[in-house]
Amino acid sequence: MPLPFHSIYKHGFIRAAVAIPAVRVADPKFNAAQTLELARRASENGAAVTLFPELGISAYSNDDLFHQDALLDATRAALAEIVAASRDLISILLVGAPLRFEGALYNCGIAVYRGQILAITPKTYLPNYREFYEKRQFTSGRAATFNSVEILGQTVPFGSDVTMRAQNLENFVLHMEICEDVWTPIPPSSFAALSGATVLANLSASNITIGKADYRKNLCASQSGKCVAAYLYSAAGPGESTTDLAWDGHALIYENNELLAESERFSAQPHVIFADIDLERLAQERMRFTSFHDTISHFKPQMRRVEFEFEIPQGEMPLRRNVERFPYVPNDPRVRDERCYEAYNIQVHGLMKRLHSIKGEKIVIGVSGGLDSTHALIVAAKTMDRLGLPRQNILGFTMPGFATSEGTKSNAHALMNALGITAAEIDIKPSCLQMLRDLGHPFSEGEPVYDITFENVQAGERTSHLFRLANFHNGIVLGTGDLSELALGWCTYGVGDHMSHYNVNASVPKTLIQFLIRWVISTQQFDEQTDAILQSILDTEISPELVPGNDEAAIQSTESKVGPYELQDFNLYYISRYGFRPSKVAFLSYSAWFNKSGGSWPGDLSETKRNQYDLATVKKWLDVFCFRFFGISQFKRSCVPNGPKVGSGGSLSPRGDWRAPSDAEPTVWLDELRANVPEK
């Protein structure tokens, strides 16, 4: 039975849960009941895997009680209850218990699924320092002379070298390690990841001391990032003995260095956290990460693999994961400010280096009063300041054409004057008319024919003037076109939004440019007069202003032609950065822009219009994106001028992140989208 479109399992996700039950010390029957209560809650929420704390069936803080036969027998009986009850649960349960095999006691993680024990992982590294005395009670898994055990009538693989793979759910490979194992220089999970494990789970008890929670987070984040994996972490919670220790019940879910979910600490109540892990994203990252595969070749880890059939939850299951509407713009104000600072300074330092290398001191730039030229201009102004050169060395030209509005022209003049650059206006209409006459274009005879030639003649005349002005003044032409326009091919080949001597906006998408200008205003990079002009430019609708408007035709709107930039930048990020199939991008986009489980709004948009896009709209503009990006635009990207890579989201330079043939067909992307995405 095929999964519905609105199910995470259709799009390469699994739902993970980390549970922190209440425990009673040395009361396995009570602890098993508490474990099963949270396991049922996780199962009802569609979790594929649910992690519990270290030694959670017996409790961790038993000390020498672990050597009491009565406790060990009761623990095994409680485990049998959990195994039996698991037949009715969706989740793989990862539970912790002390288990005795061949005369030695091991601190074990047990993977239980549908009445079977898939694997048992003993703790490898036993802490025996400060408050820890685990070697007093337990034997390290490294000392075991066997690799399977008999338990509850089953023969089960035993060892830290066991991974578990779902045969019918691609990329779902699971591995367990226990607490201290991840504190070591080379954790067992590192070898598991190199052997294909994508979901790494740590059953931990981990008492709390001041500052330890941050250390745990850093450790889990780093391990998930280095292993290009998800990392689930549990810590013992309410009920553990406080004779000499305290416990905070810390639960974490990371994916490739990104925190997906974190529990409340010091809660008096049992709790479960959930997050949806993107297995396809992990697979995509590993595929690109050549150093990861070099490490596999170097270590050649020898791991065993248990195969099992996973019963995929049926029915709709919306995404339970924060998906930012603006992937190029962090929602967290502190992080966003840091990223804007970095982006701005990368652009400035790139331009500084270019001017230094050519021994140039002058910049020629076309200033339209639009977003892109505005941002390029303020980068140029800051560059001159850093170089100790006068801003008059920036030669700014506004070049009104047949459709230039008074508002944008006024903003262009006001901004140039406020920044103190050398400003001029060149009316390109006479030279455009001459070109149109030379072409025999009907407009030159008074007919209102506003075709692509009419538009490109204006764009071409502006570019021709800028390059000759640069020759005349011994300067370079600063490009203004951005990453979004390049992705969509919304630029005229060989003209100003495509060609220049250097382009500081080359890898900056439209949405980030908007936020960069907001950041320039909020951090007072310039004076109040300049800030007011910048805000006016932000408030102006995006338009090429090449076709005149009248009573019947409104202003020429870019986004009505190529789609909302906030949607298209979303599409660009997930298709170029991760190579996701269009149907998955549509699912993510719908989750972010319409479904309530999507991301939050950046604070800078708190007072502006907040758009919401249904699935039909998402599909419509993603279709446009796929056609333009894969079908008709690559030849423009194959010859772009130099410009600095700004963000990890990538660039489309053929010398950088993106190399593609100029004559590929978009068919496979369009077919995949149209066949797999419904209208609602």
* Tens digit of each residue's pLDDT (9 = 90 or more) over 477-530: 999 999 999 999 999 999 888 999 999 999 999 999 999 999 999 999 999 999
For strands 116-122 and 104-113, give the pairing.
Answer: antiparallel
CATH number for position 290: 3.60.110.10
Q: Are residues 54 and 188 in the same domain?
A: yes
**Average pLDDT of every residue of the chain:** 94
Catalytic residue among 10, 108, 134, 179: 179
pLDDT in tens, 521-567: 999 999 999 999 999 999 999 998 999 876 445 578 899 999 999 99
Asked whether residue 158 is domain-assigned, the answer is yes
108 is catalytic: no
Task: Give yes or no: residues 76 and 189 share one domain.
Answer: yes
pLDDT for the residue numbered 276: 98
Decide if 313 is inside a domain: no
Instruction: Identify the bridge partners of residue 276 per DSSP, sorted by sequence position.
Output: 15
Number of domains, the chain: 2
Do residues 263 and 339 share a domain? no
Residues 667, 565 share a domain:
yes
365-402, pLDDT tens digit by residue?
999 999 999 999 999 999 999 999 999 999 999 999 99
Q: Which of 308, 343, 375 is the last residue of a domain?
A: 308
- 52 assigned to some structural domain: yes
342 and 286 in a common domain: no
Helices (H) and strands (E) in the chain, counts: 21, 20
Strand partners, 274: 17
| Cβ proximity of 496 and 466 under 8 Å | yes
Cα–Cα dist 317/304, whole Å: 32
Domain-located, residue 320: no
**Among residues 258, 275, 308, which one ends one of the domains?**
308
Residues 581 and 539 in one domain: yes
The verdict on residue 324 lying in a domain is: no
For the full predicted model, state whether its pTM sits above 0.85. yes
Six token digits for residue 380: 């140029």
- Angle subtended at Cα 291 by Cα 288 and Cα 294, rounded to the nearest 5 degrees: 115
Q: Is residue 245 part of a domain?
A: yes
Q: Please list, in sequence order, all residues whose beta carbon lies within 8 angstroms of the beta carbon of residue 439, skipping any fewer than 6 positions away.
A: 453, 457
Which of 10, 123, 409, 636 does the annotation list as catalytic?
123
pLDDT tens digit string along 291-300? 999 999 999 9
- Is 54 marked active-site? yes
User: What would the DSSP string read from start to end of 175-220?
Assistant: EEEEGGGGGSSS-HHHHHHHTT--EEEEE------TTHHHHHHHHH
Determine, yes or no, domain membership for 10: no
232 & 367 share domain: no
Q: Are residues 368 and 250 in the same domain?
A: no
Task: Look at residue 512 in the predicted model and tell me its pLDDT.
Answer: 95
- What is the per-residue pLDDT across 170-224, written as a single tens digit (0 to 9) for each? 999 999 999 999 999 999 999 999 999 999 999 999 889 999 999 999 999 999 9
Q: What is the pLDDT of residues 445-456, one digit of tens each?
A: 999 999 999 999
User: Among 308, 341, 366, which residue terminates a domain?
Assistant: 308
> Which is the catalytic residue, given 10, 54, 108, 177?
54
Residue whose C-alpha is closest to residue 464's, from 502, 423, 429, 495: 495
Q: What domain range includes position 555?
A: 333-676
Burial of 276 (0-12, 13-18, 19+ CB in 10 A): buried
Give the pLDDT mean for 353-358: 96
pLDDT band at 330 (very low <50, low <70, confident <90, very high): confident
Window from 21-30, 119-128, 553-562, 567-576 with minimum mean pLDDT: 553-562
DSSP assignment, residue 489? T
Is 123 catalytic? The answer is yes
Residue-level pLDDT at 607: 45
How far apart CA 296 and CA 643 sit, in angstroms, is 35
Residue 498 maps to which CATH number? 3.40.50.620
pLDDT at residue 596 in the model = 53
